[in-house]
Chains A and B, each alone.
Chain A
Amino acid sequence: MRFLVSCAVAAVLATSPVLAADRLLIDDTGREITVPDTPERIVVMHEPLLGVPLMDLDLDLAGSYGRADDGGFVIAVDFIDTVLGEGKAKPKGFGPVGQPDLEKLRALEPDLILASELDAGKVDQLSTVAPVYLQNISGDKVHGFDIQEDLAVLLGREDLFEARKAGYMDRVAELRATLPGNAAGQTYLPVFLTDQINVVGDSSGMVQALEDLGYTRLEVAEASTTSASGGSMMLMPLSAEVFGGLNPDILVLLNSYMDSSRDETGTREKLDRIVPGWDRFMKPALEKRILFVDPAKVITPTVASAEHMLDAVEHWGGQER
């Protein structure tokens, strides 16, 4: 009799898609959700921070918030092209930023919606379409490419992530050996230029690469105060006066995505408009300790972005020699 009952339970488990193929998870905000064991149609609410990390792990996206119906990206930079290379299939959109279209979202037939803690207010409505997993993306909660690692664990791609990371760490070791001087103990400061000066937060491939190479972040009193009081997740505003007095061993300058020219010339011109004459009095400029980087390549929390950062450091190191 007991055997028959066991067989019946096993048969039910095997035939019930809900019991056999779903699992109960607790997301980063403490919500309990049931998600498919192997989600096949994933939609992301933030492409650079959630979508690109998944695509870097060879996962295709069914949809991405902020893309147009034809797959075009609404802001100037398409991070899939800049980080992962051109030619990748683009996910479809479901309404403009600030106005998600639930009907379009449902038409994408997602089995998992990946959102950030910033989307907590939208969860009730998004959940009418598919289970919603909230992943932390704020700079004070995640670091380097933690987000990609978390998502790899969530979606059973740990092996792939570890393989990507191992290859990356080999490159880090090689590059560290060729860098002029010892990076350990030297400081860096990543600065993003909009219409003001902003210190970049901790969650990006760029930060991961610099710290894996041995650099440590230069603590800026004004920026840390802003951060502690709940400033922006990625960018902490910095006054021009404070910026002018800083002296990191490497100053990493990144021009805004919205500027067509994100190379050294464009970045210099932009900073000159905010802090006129900066290159005539700032020590990193006078001693050529500035690294100009394209943020569209290095800002995502992915191994791919970290590798782009290694390329940039390698190129800069070559110039130094």
Chain B
Amino acid sequence: MIRRGTATDGKPVLRLANGLQMRTGNLLAGCGLVAATLILAAWSTGLGLTDTGLADLLRALSGSSLSDAETYALLTVRLPRILLGFMVGWAVALSGALLQSIARNPLADPGLFGFSQGSMIMIMLLLVIAPVAPKSLVALAAVTGGLCVAGLLLWLVGGERSSGLTIVLLGIAVETVLSSFGSLLLLYLPTETSITLSEWLAGSLFQANWSVIAAFTPLFVLGLVGSLLAGGATSAYDLGTEMAQALGEPVARSRPLILLFAVVLSAAAVTAVGPLVFLGVLAPHIAGFLSPAVGRARLLLSGLVGGILVVAADALTRGIAAGLPLPLGLSLTMVGVPLFIIALRLQALRKLQSH
């Protein structure tokens, strides 16, 4: 049974029988974002050389046959890109939102903490040892690299009383060292490995196919379920580590767990399309502008915005700028940064008006 109620700040909420509650505004924002995702995905299925799109896809699902060119365009090229793009965007955004809560810093994302770099370096080292390593091994290397960095970070941060600022500063230090090492590896690796890695570092959905999606899905689901389970704790972490402890949050256990989920999500995304710089910062901020939220609602909204941004960036790459060499990382910046600036500017104006 669902009951309507009012939160302590006077905003309307929906209360479930088990005690869980969700702000009506967050729910509406979530529904709006899901609708936006579906519209964007539908539009994106029509982008490309072959004259086909959503209508043909629906016809095919209802049993009609498509031409070879249409089948290839829809099922081999466009759908895998849209699906993988959305999942990857969701994963990176969720990872960023989790890290921002435990670091209590709005700039935190997998790149700032060095997780992406840890994954990349481990993949580079694997490709040096085994240039034709299977994708599952590459994914494992990425997760291992991210986990090693997370472990190092936790060890450096020390006890449960350490502040979010300490995590961020140490994260930046680790990231700087790893980035330098990564550049060194790129410089001295065999040319073919170096070129492949450089293309991958720019970010691309070119490799999107059903086997990559199949390899990505378990990590994505694991990270998703885990972050939703641990997500409730992020609202306590948003208040600071000491306050979270005062509220009864077992920081010594839950912080490493949240870090672990953030690493798994980030590593899975890095393996699939390369590092998507800044998305972990962009998406939670835009989600927060659309509908301020905490805990699980914040994570879900951030994930949706992240997915939408990557699908939109891919649509820009394939559709509007099809003839231009536009890597996914760049198109993501072109789509996300203006929205980010607008969101921050409007937030600032809103604050000015309220004072």
Contact = CB atoms under 8 A, between A and B. Distances in A.
Interface of A: 68-69, 95-104, 106-107, 117-118, 120-122, 124-125, 128, 138, 229-233
Interface stretch (B94-102, B147-155, B193-201, B262-270): B193-201
B76 A128 contact: yes
Contact of B192 (A99, A128, A138, A231): A138
Contacts of A121: 196, 199-200, 207
A124 B190 contact: no
Contacts of A102: 72, 76-77, 206
Nearest to B135: A124
B202 A230 contact: no
Nearest to B326: A99
13 contacts: A95-B322, A96-B326, A99-B204, A99-B326, A100-B206, A118-B192, A121-B196, A125-B206, A229-B188, A230-B191, A230-B194, A232-B191, A233-B191
B72 A106 contact: yes
A68 B327 contact: no
A231 B194 CA distance: 10
A103 B199 contact: no
A43 to B, nearest CB: 15
Contacts of B323: 68-69, 96
A97 B323 CA distance: 10
B52 to A, nearest CB: 10
A128 to B, nearest CB: 6
A120 B192 contact: yes
Contacts of B196: 118, 120-121
A244 to B, nearest CB: 24
B310 to A, nearest CB: 16
Nearest to A98: B325
Nearest to A29: B132
Nearest to B47: A103
A121 B211 CA distance: 15
A249 to B, nearest CB: 29
Interface residues of B, number: 34
A68 B318 CA distance: 15
Interface string B181-219: 000000011111011100110101011010100000000
Interface string B205-243: 011010100000000000000000000000000000000
B37 to A, nearest CB: 23
Contacts of A100: 206
Nearest to B127: A121
B206 A103 contact: no
Nearest to B77: A102
Contacts of B72: 102-103, 106, 128
A99 B73 CA distance: 16
B49 A124 contact: no
A280 B318 CA distance: 53
Interface of B: 48-50, 69, 72-73, 76-77, 131-132, 188-192, 194-196, 199-200, 202, 204, 206-207, 209, 211, 317-318, 322-327
A138 B195 CA distance: 12
Contacts of A117: 192
Contact of B207 (A124, A230, A232): A124
Nearest to B190: A230
Contact of B209 (A97, A118, A124, A229): A124
Nearest to B76: A128
Nearest to A31: B132
Given A120-B131, A128-B76, A230-B190, A104 B49 contact: yes
Contacts of A232: 191
Contacts of B204: 98-99
A98 B191 contact: no
Nearest to A230: B190
Contacts of A97: 325
B209 A125 contact: yes
A134 to B, nearest CB: 10
B69 A107 contact: yes
Contacts of A68: 323
A101 B49 CA distance: 9
A98 B199 contact: yes
A124 B131 CA distance: 14
Contact of B327 (A95, A99, A120): A99
B188 A99 contact: no
A107 B194 CA distance: 31
Given A96-B324, A98-B327, A99-B325, A231 B48 contact: no
A64 B183 CA distance: 31
Contacts of A231: 191
Given A98-B325, A230-B188, A230-B190, A103 B195 contact: no
Given A103-B49, A106-B72, 13 more contacts: A68-B323, A69-B323, A97-B325, A99-B206, A99-B325, A101-B48, A103-B48, A103-B72, A117-B192, A118-B196, A121-B196, A124-B211, A230-B191
Contacts of B50: 103, 107
Nearest to A229: B188
A103 B318 CA distance: 11
A98 B203 CA distance: 10
Contacts of A106: 69, 72
Most A-side CB within 10 Å, residue of B49, B72, B132: B49
A122 B190 CA distance: 17
A106 B67 CA distance: 13
B211 to A, nearest CB: 8
A138 B190 CA distance: 10
Contacts of B200: 121
Given A102-B76, A104-B49, A106-B72, A125 B207 contact: yes
Nearest to A227: B191
The 6 A-B residue pairs with the shortest CB-CB distance, nearest first, are A96-B325, A121-B196, A103-B49, A230-B190, A98-B325, A103-B48
Given A101-B322, A128-B76, A230-B194, A122 B206 contact: yes
Given A98-B325, A120-B196, A103 B188 contact: no
A101 B206 CA distance: 8
A106 B207 CA distance: 16
